[in-house]
Amino acid sequence: MRKQNSFSQLTWILLTSIVLCIPMQIHAAGHKHGKHNSSTPKTCTKADSLATLKCSHGPNAVFDTNGRLWLAWAFGGHVYVNFSDDKGESYSSPVIVNKTPEPISAKAESPVKIVVDNSGNLFVSWTMKLPKRFSGHIRFSRSIDGGKNFSAPLTVNDHLEVTSHRFQSMSVNKQGEIFITWLDKRDLLAAKKAGKPYTGAAIYYTYSDNNGQSFHPNIKISDSSCECCRTAMAMDKDGLPVILWRHIFSKNTRDHALVKLTDKNLVGKIHRASFDNWKVDGCPHHGPDISIGDEGTYHLTWFNNAPQRHGLFYAHTSDQGNTFSTAVSIGDYAAAASHPQVLSTRQQVYLLWEEFDGKQSSLMSMRSDDKGKNWSTEKVLLQTKATNEHPLLIHDGKQAYAAWHRPGEDYRLLPLEN
Partner 1 sequence: MKKIIWFSFFCALSLDAIAQQPINNFTHGSYKQIVNQYKQQPFVMVLWSLDCPPCYKELELLADERRKHDFNLVLISTDGADARNEVASVLNKYNLQSVNSWLFDEFSSQHLRYEIDPAWYGELPRSYLFDSVHQRKSISGVLSTDQLPK
Min CB(75)–partner 1 separation in Å: 15
Shorter beta-carbon distance to partner 1: residue 14 or 160: 14
Q: Which is nearer to partner 1, 169 or 361 (CB)?
A: 361
Q: Is 396 left (phi over 0), alpha (psi -120 to 50) or beta?
A: alpha
40-288-352-376 Cα dihedral, nearest 10 degrees: 160
Which residue(s) pair with 272 in the sheet?
A: 257
| Residue 417 CB, nearest approach to partner 1 (Å) | 27
Nearer to partner 1, 17 or 308 (CB): 17
3-state secondary structure of 44: helix
**Are the C-beta atoms of 62 and 68 separated by less than 8 Å?**
no
Provide the minimum distance between the beta carbon of 25 and partner 1 in the complex, in angstroms, as a whole number. Answer: 8
- Residues 411 and 397: their CA atoms lie apart, in Å, by 21
Q: Which residues contact 86 (CB under 8 A, 6 or more apart)?
A: none
Nearer to partner 1, 270 or 336 (CB): 336
Give the footprint of partner 1 on this chain (CB under 8 A): 6, 9-10, 13-14, 16-17, 20-24, 26-27, 30-31, 33-39, 107, 133-134, 227-228, 252, 279-286, 303, 305, 333-334, 336, 338, 356, 358-359, 361, 386, 388
The Cα–Cα gap between 227 and 155 comes to 20
CB of 358 to partner 1, least distance (A): 5
Q: Which is nearer to partner 1, 109 or 177 (CB)?
A: 109
Least distance between partner 1 and beta carbon 141 (Å): 25
How far is the C-alpha of 87 from the C-alpha of 410, rounded, in Å?
13
Contact in structure between 407 and 39 (CB atoms under 8 Å)? yes
CA distance 192 to 409: 44
Q: Are 118 and 178 in contact (CB under 8 A)?
A: no
Task: Determine the 3-state secondary structure of 11 from DSSP.
Answer: helix
Distance of closest approach, residue 208 Cβ to partner 1, in angstroms: 29
User: Is 10 or 50 the residue whose CB approaches partner 1 more closely?
Assistant: 10
Closest to partner 1 by CB, 14 or 162: 14
Instruction: Give 24 or 152: the residue with its C-beta nearer to partner 1.
Output: 24
Q: Least distance to partner 1 from the beta carbon of 399, Å? A: 29
Q: List CB contacts of 26: < 8 A, sequence separation 6 or more.
A: none
Residue 157, burial from CB neighbour count under 10 angstroms (0-12, 13-18, 19+)? buried
Element (H, E) at 5: helix 2-35
Q: What is the rounded CA–CA span in Å between residue 191 and residue 203?
A: 15
Measured CA to CA, the distance from residue 243 to residue 86 in angstroms comes to: 32
Nearest to 109, CA basis, from 184, 57, 44, 155: 57
The residue among 275 and 333 lying less far from partner 1, judged by its C-beta, is: 333
Question: Which residues, other chains included, contact 330 with Cβ-Cβ below 8 Å and sequence gap of 6+?
Answer: 301, 311, 312, 313, 314, 337, 340, 351, 353, 366, 375, 378
Quick one: 69 or 202, whose CB is closer to partner 1? 202
Q: Among residues 215 and 278, whose Cβ is nearest to partner 1? A: 278
CB 90, min distance to partner 1, A: 30
Nearest distance from residue 167's CB to partner 1, in Å?
11
Helix/strand/coil for 18? helix
Q: What is the closest distance, in whole angstroms, from the C-beta atom of residue 337 to partner 1 in the complex?
A: 9
Residue 79 CB, nearest approach to partner 1 (Å): 20
